[in-house]
Each structure stands twice: as structure tokens, then as C-alpha cells.
């Protein structure tokens, strides 16, 4: 747990929070947009096919947990969080399993896209606008972290949906399992072994982006 939080740490925490909230909004918009494109009217009817962050905020997952992580409360892995889930109805998809997988992957896919764009922009900033490089680098790092975190196989995170797609878990079992997911996550990020695992996965995911950055600078 981090200690000695001062004004500089609070400032950096707020910057990270703004980036995380924006990135999570784009993440959820990705889910909603993909479901909408596949013919499911549910996200649009609930006002989720929007880039407005207010439509996607979950107080715990989008504000409290990310801010605590950003100021070092969870031992250095600050890029964690989730937003209000986008409800969908897979019965509208032509292929239920394939459509569900596409909708699930659209959220982390948005974080991947943002991370790639941020890597390219950070490399350009290093040459032409160095004052912005650090900020853009934070955008890259946060979105890699969100992509990794949200693909963990723990409800309510996106990666857990593959327990149904690939391993045949019944939806009723998944819903029951999901009730315990947030508590598992909170325990994981407060136990040293869990934090070490998350940092190890994140560091491996960071490697191709560092390679891209190095190739462009």
C-alpha cells in the first residue's frame, strides 16, 4: 500500500483518473457499438452507444478503484478498473457465439487500438513535441493495463466470458459465479502474489509496444 501521498501524487492520480475514465468509456462504447452493429437494439435503447463517460461510469470500478490504484494504493499496478456493463441480447446475432465473442473482444480491442495510436503519437512527440510525450505515454500505459486487466478470466471482466464461449459454462452458472468476481478482484490486487502476477503479465504485454516505440524513434 502506498504512503506519503502529497500534492504531486494527487495531481498525477487525477491525471491518470481522467485517462482511465476516458479509456473505460471508449472500452464500453466498443462493446455497445459492436452489439449495435450486429443488430442488437439493447445498448442503444439504454443510451450506451455514446462516447459520453457519464453513461458508462461505475462508482467503484471507474472512479474509486482506479484512483486508489493511480496513487499507489495497490502496490504499483494502477491501471485497473471497469465500467458499468453493457447489457446485450445475443439472440439478435446471426451466430450467437461468434457475435457474443465479437462484442466481448470489442472492449479490450478499443484499448488495444488506443494503445497502438498512443505509441505512435508518443514516438512522434519525442521528435516534434517532447512536452506532450509523457502524457501520451501515460495514455498508452493505461490502455495496455486496462486491456490486460479486463482480459483476466474473473467476472465481471471480459476475459471471464470465454468460460462460456470456450469451456461451455452455462449462463446460469456464470451469473452465479459473477456475484463473487468483484471480491476476488479486490482480494487479488491486495495480495502481493496477485499484484506480482498482474505486473508480470503487464510487463510482457508492454514489450511489443516498447518495440514499436523504439522502431519509430
For residue 17, the model assigns a pLDDT of: 87
Residue 210 has pLDDT above 60, yes or no: yes
Query: Could you give the CA distance from residue 179 to residue 157 in angstroms, rounded to a whole number?
Result: 12
Residue 166 has pLDDT above 90, yes or no: no
Residues 65/78, Cβ–Cβ less than 8 Å? no
pLDDT tens, residue by residue, 13-34: 888 889 999 999 999 999 999 9
Distance CA 186, CA 73 (A): 12
Nearest to 2 by CA among 142, 150, 195, 135: 195
20-24, 185-189, 194-198: which range is least confident on average? Answer: 185-189
Q: Pick the most confident of 16-20, 44-48, 71-75.
A: 44-48
| Grid cell listed for 94 | 446471426
Through-space distance between the first and last CA atoms of the chain, rounded to whole angstroms? 36
pLDDT of residue 79: 59
**pLDDT (mean) for 107-119:** 98
Amino acid at each position: 500500500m502506498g504512503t506519503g501521498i502529497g500534492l504531486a501524487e494527487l495531481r498525477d492520480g487525477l491525471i491518470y483518473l481522467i485517462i482511465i475514465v476516458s479509456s473505460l468509456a471508449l472500452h464500453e462504447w466498443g462493446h455497445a457499438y459492436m452489439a449495435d452493429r450486429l443488430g442488437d437494439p439493447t445498448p442503444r435503447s439504454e443510451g450506451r452507444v455514446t462516447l459520453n463517460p457519464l453513461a458508462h461510469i461505475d462508482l467503484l470500478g471507474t472512479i474509486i478503484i482506479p484512483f486508489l490504484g493511480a496513487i499507489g494504493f495497490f502496490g504499483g499496478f494502477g491501471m485497473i478498473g471497469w465500467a458499468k456493463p453493457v447489457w446485450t441480447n445475443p439472440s439478435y446475432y446471426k451466430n450467437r457465439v461468434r457475435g457474443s465473442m465479437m462484442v466481448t473482444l470489442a472492449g479490450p480491442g478499443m484499448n488495444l487500438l488506443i494503445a497502438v495510436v498512443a505509441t505512435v503519437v508518443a514516438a512522434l512527440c519525442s521528435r516534434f513535441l517532447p512536452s506532450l510525450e509523457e502524457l501520451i505515454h501515460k495514455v498508452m500505459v493505461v490502455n495496455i493495463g486496462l486491456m490486460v486487466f479486463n482480459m483476466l478470466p474473473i467476472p465481471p471482466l471480459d476475459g471471464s466470458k470465454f468460460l462460456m464461449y470456450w469451456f461451455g459454462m452455462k449462463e446460469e452458472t456464470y451469473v452465479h459465479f459473477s456475484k463473487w468476481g468483484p471480491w476476488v478482484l479486490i482480494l487479488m490486487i491486495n495480495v502481493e502474489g496477485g499484484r506480482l502476477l498482474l505486473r508480470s503479465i503487464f510487463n510482457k504485454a508492454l514489450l511489443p509496444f516498447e518495440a514499436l516505440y523504439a522502431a519509430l524513434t
